[in-house]
Structure 1
Amino acid sequence: MSKARYIVILLILLFPGLLSAQIRANVVDTASALIVADPLQSNMVIQQNKPFKVWGHAPAGKIVTVKASWLTVPVSVQADRANKFMAIINVPAIQKGNYTKHSIGVTYDSKNVILDNLLIGDVWFCSGQSNMQFAVREIADPQKHIDSAVHPNIRLLNVRFTWKIKPTDTIPGKWLECSPQNVRDFSAVGYYFAREIQRKLDIPIGVIYSGIGGSVTQAYLAQDVMAADPLLKAKYLDPFYQTDAYKKSDLEKFTFGTTSYPYLIYNGMIYPFFNLSVKGILWYQGESNREQRDEYVKLNQTMIESWRKGFGQGSLPFYYVQVAPHAYGKMDTTLNDYAFFREQQERIATLNNTAMVTTMDVGDKDDIHPKNKKPIGLRLAYTALNQTYAQLDIAYRGPQYSHAVYGKQKATVYFEPGTTDKGLATTDNKSPRHFYLAGEDQVFHRADARIDGNTIVLDCKEVKKPVAVRYAFTNFPTTNLQNGAGIPAVPFRTDNWAEPVQKGTTSK
């Protein structure tokens, strides 16, 4: 986490007035009050074509009635002994162009809560660390993007950072219409995603961001889930149990370590949403776990499966972002530890209904937070439109390596069918960059590359008998190879040679 982000979080914690009114509302006596769960608010989008849960607190034994403007018959339930209630109402599928405003009333006796200015559409849940948190106001030349962000049929929920020792059902955040004022501090990736989906589908879109900069994946996993897995328990939980903060039960105090502890962010920022119906999940994280390899794949796939189980809506789409090229202050163009991490990150997509979007053309060797977030949001949208919404004419994959044919001092690279739609091209009309060839000596040399139809032909005089190809397999290459749809090629290596031990890195 950067010092600036740490200061922002610290200010929020030191000055309670900066927190939403919802945090202060949590002190209300649930034994007598009627409280609707924090994620359910006026201005929200309600997920279409799925059951919608209305939950909260009411005195034990009281009959709570829920009436939605689109239903002819209200639903009534009884609050349980723990002063909790949950009603489930049906939500219809909507037609293109339907922006009808709705309301929900929740009552018992003379108590009532009204949620209004509601839309029925699709809701996407975004999470991850600082590159997903990266706000519209932080992008290059932000004002023109902010001024044009008048989209009342897109609704935003920006969840402020919170962490809990135990799972909670409260969150600090407020649903808002997308406007220049409200979009400023919202996730740029989430905003561009929502704008493109809304434009293509012509339906209301709700987008939630619930995460924090500097956070690690293990912070987003439940304690019991990690405890049940020997690898994750040994790697993450057991060391955590040995920290002074855990031993002294001092976890409620914010420190630089808070975003690196297991399960605390999960308890405060993920668990509270599990009763909410959503369309899918977007994830952008990895920088804080970059020195891990196999653990990261296991960790993320376990997280995905546990979130899907928590939401209880089947195998929800899960689309995630590849970490962008960055030098981490080491300007050696031959280093490739980050490339090996990206390779492992790609393996997460072996899990069903997941996909990774590529960032190799929009990284910044000097800035871990590259400012060009629009292509990332759009690529996530293209992935969702193709994979979730079955708009198969929308390309979402970049050229993906299939196989190579070797000759004397040369090689020809072939790509998977369907990933070179509209052919191959480069962003600058120059030769493709960052291709390397190696012989049996395992020493890679830069190769000249040219496009030949849907293949790349490589030449390298230094390698008489090439046996391996690598593409963009270094820490901070800025690539120019893409398909005709403008989606960048995915980095790859054809060899299985061991990762070299590089100065300043830890063992993998």
Structure 2
Amino acid sequence: MRYSLKGLLATFLLLGLFSCANAAIRLPNILSSGVVLQQKSDIQLWGWASPNEKLSIWPSWQKDSIQVRANPDGKWLITLHTPAAGGPYTIDFDAHNHIRLSDVWLGEVWVCSGQSNMEFTYNWRKTKDIQIDFDSCQQYNLHFFQVPKTTGVTPQEDLPGSWSSCDSNTVKDFSAVAYFFGKKLNKNLHVPIGLISSNWGGTPAEVWTPAELVNENPFLHSWQEKLKPSVGWPILAGRAYNGMIYPLTNFAIAGTIWYQGESNVETYQSYGQLFKTMIRSWRARWNQDFPFYFVQIAPYHYGANNGAELRDQQAQALQLPHTGMVVTADLVSDTNDIHPHDKYDVGARLANMALSDHYQLTGDFPKSPVLAGYTLNGARVQIRFSDAAGGLKVKSGDVQQLFIAGSDGHLYPANLKIEKDGSITVSSKDVSAPKLVEYGFTNTRLGNLVSGQGLPVAPFRIQL
């Protein structure tokens, strides 16, 4: 067989180019210049290279480089401990090629996820509470990573996106809730804040939950099948999780904030179990029992009483450790708008939970009182609340939307006595043997019982 010299040279050249291409270190997009890494934590850096290729990694905050070798699949991963917040730093990756990450910060990292009320941006609805921050937002040392809307039939290894610093332009297209959350964290912690916005308007919680946990659970699967198809978002279990959450789970975070539920109102019956399943699955994949703070859906004219039922299901997630719920009953001026404009207070209330519960700061970080327990004393029901140490009060006149019922189920307006310890006693002359107490259990009228600091008491239903 005869070969021309030109042909052999071309073949060797192609093989050489192929080998060089294989040898290149690659990093996931979440590890790019501008990244915020979780401070004072064991974090992971990972990526791809040629099988068995040796890499040298040098973060500029430490003296020595780290050596690692890619496995036979061409994947590599290292774990290192980060010092206290600071920056900007660099991280150098060396093998057959060189990558330098610049503008690297150490601080606090939060995932901000959900549907349209978390996705809500200035450029979408021109919310005024962000506009007044245009000239000052760059001073809060906030850094954004926006995850594009994408799905996966199976869990993905990477996702598109890049980091950007907060300024008067980037803040316009970033989650308003996440921005105000991050702003308050920075003003109190005085460290860089990394915010990963991974949300998709219209999505039900099933798409954010690993598919097998829904499809292999007869109860959850039966309710998923009742979801209405849409041309604007996926409804199949796991699709957003695979494309928009799973690729992040090697990346160390401080916690998650979540604003979702509107698209599960018509299938509220499964939401309590579904939501807890989702939270547990995220924590299991991150291998971290991180704080998970969420927003109770706002007053809106839903069909039947489904909004109230969904809120009741959301509150079941408080059974899990390190969770918290923001109440929005007082933040809505138009109950015909499913997207309330006040995102400042939503973000600030989420930050209050993080600052007091997770970061253990002392100060003025009020939270809404939430049902904690009850005692039946004859015809009276004594009801206890968390976060009511400052007492409760009725805002504007007599208490509204507080009802009590006996075995016939007829709801009577309840008499209210506020106790000194922050509990309340509920009764009615028409009910001798209470079987049900409801407060704010409607779609739009959520009552006027508030904490001593003015925050609304979370709506509740007690079946005795």
Do both proteins adopt the same fold according to a TM-score greater than 0.5, normalized to the shorter chain?
Answer: yes
Identity of aligned residues (%): 32
How big is each residue's C-alpha offset from its partner over 1:100-138, in whole Å with a ceiling of 9 and x where there is no partner? 3111111213x1111111111110111111111111443
Identify the match of residue 306 of structure 2 among 301, 315, 337: 337
Partner of 1:87: 78
Counterparts in 2 of 1:432 and 1:185: CA distance versus 1, 3 Å: farther
Residue 131 of structure 1 aligns with an amino acid whose one-letter code is N
Shift of 1:422: 2.5
The 1-side partners of 2:391 and 2:62 are apart by 50
SS at structure 2 position matched to 1:184: helix
The 1-side partners of 2:126 and 2:407 are apart by 45
Contact 1:30/1:58 (8 A) holds in 2: no
Identify the match of residue 456 of structure 2 among 472, 488, 508: 488
Partner of 2:8: none
The 2-side partners of 1:258 and 1:457 are apart by 46
Shift of 1:360: 1.7
2:307 matches 1:307: no
How big is each residue's C-alpha offset from its partner over 1:276-295, in whole Å with a ceiling of 9 and x where there is no partner? 00011111111111123452
Q: Show structure 1 runs of 5+ residues with no match.
A: 1-28, 246-254, 497-508
Contact 1:435/1:470 (8 A) holds in 2: yes
Partner of 1:420: 388
2:80 matches 1:106: no
The 2-side partners of 1:230 and 1:455 are apart by 40
Counterparts in 2 of 1:89 and 1:464: CA distance versus 1, 3 Å: closer
Partner of 1:385: 355
Shift of 1:450: 7.3
Partner of 1:116: 102
2:137 matches 1:125: no
Residue 296 of structure 2 aligns with an amino acid whose one-letter code is Q
Shift of 1:73: 0.9
SS at structure 1 position matched to 2:141: strand
Contact 1:156/1:206 (8 A) holds in 2: yes
Partner of 1:435: 402
Contact 1:425/1:481 (8 A) holds in 2: yes
Name whichever of 298-307 and 220-229 sits farther off: 220-229
How big is each residue's C-alpha offset from its partner over 1:179-218, in whole Å with a ceiling of 9 and x where there is no partner? 1111111111111111111111111111111120011111
The 2-side partners of 1:464 and 1:88 are apart by 62
Shift of 1:221: 1.9
Counterparts in 2 of 1:132 and 1:200: CA distance versus 1, 3 Å: same
Structure number with greater Rg is: 2
Shift of 1:396: 2.7
SS at structure 2 position matched to 1:271: helix
Partner of 1:3: none
2:252 matches 1:265: no
SS at structure 1 position matched to 2:458: coil
Partner of 1:376: 346
SS at structure 2 position matched to 1:102: strand
Partner of 2:204: 216
Counterparts in 2 of 1:199 and 1:30: CA distance versus 1, 3 Å: farther
Shift of 1:82: 2.5
SS at structure 2 position matched to 1:150: helix
Contact 2:140/2:186 (8 A) holds in 1: no
Shift of 1:485: 2.7
Shift of 1:476: 0.9
SS at structure 2 position matched to 1:200: helix
The 2-side partners of 1:324 and 1:444 are apart by 24
1:203-282 maps to which residues of 2 (within 5 A)? Answer: 203-236=191-224, 256=231, 258-282=233-257
Name whichever of 467-476 and 137-146 sits farther off: 137-146
SS at structure 2 position matched to 1:310: helix
The 1-side partners of 2:240 and 2:142 are apart by 26
Identify the match of residue 202 of structure 1 among 181, 186, 190: 190
How big is each residue's C-alpha offset from its partner over 1:461-499, in whole Å with a ceiling of 9 and x where there is no partner? 8x4647343210111115432212333101112336xxx
Identify the match of residue 295 of structure 2 among 317, 321, 325: 321
1:404-419 maps to which residues of 2 (within 5 A)? Answer: 414-416=383-385, 419=387
Counterparts in 2 of 1:139 and 1:357: CA distance versus 1, 3 Å: farther
Name whichever of 152-161 and 114-123 sits farther off: 152-161
The 1-side partners of 2:133 and 2:382 are apart by 39
SS at structure 1 position matched to 2:359: coil
Tell me the TM-score normalized by structure 2. Answer: 0.85
Partner of 1:77: 68
Tell me the TM-score normalized by structure 1. Answer: 0.79
Contact 2:148/2:160 (8 A) holds in 1: yes
Shift of 1:456: 5.2
Contact 1:400/1:419 (8 A) holds in 2: no
Contact 2:201/2:233 (8 A) holds in 1: no
SS at structure 1 position matched to 2:214: helix
Identify the match of residue 437 of structure 2 among 469, 481, 493: 469
Shift of 1:139: 5.8
**How many residue pairs are counted as aligned between the two chains?**
439
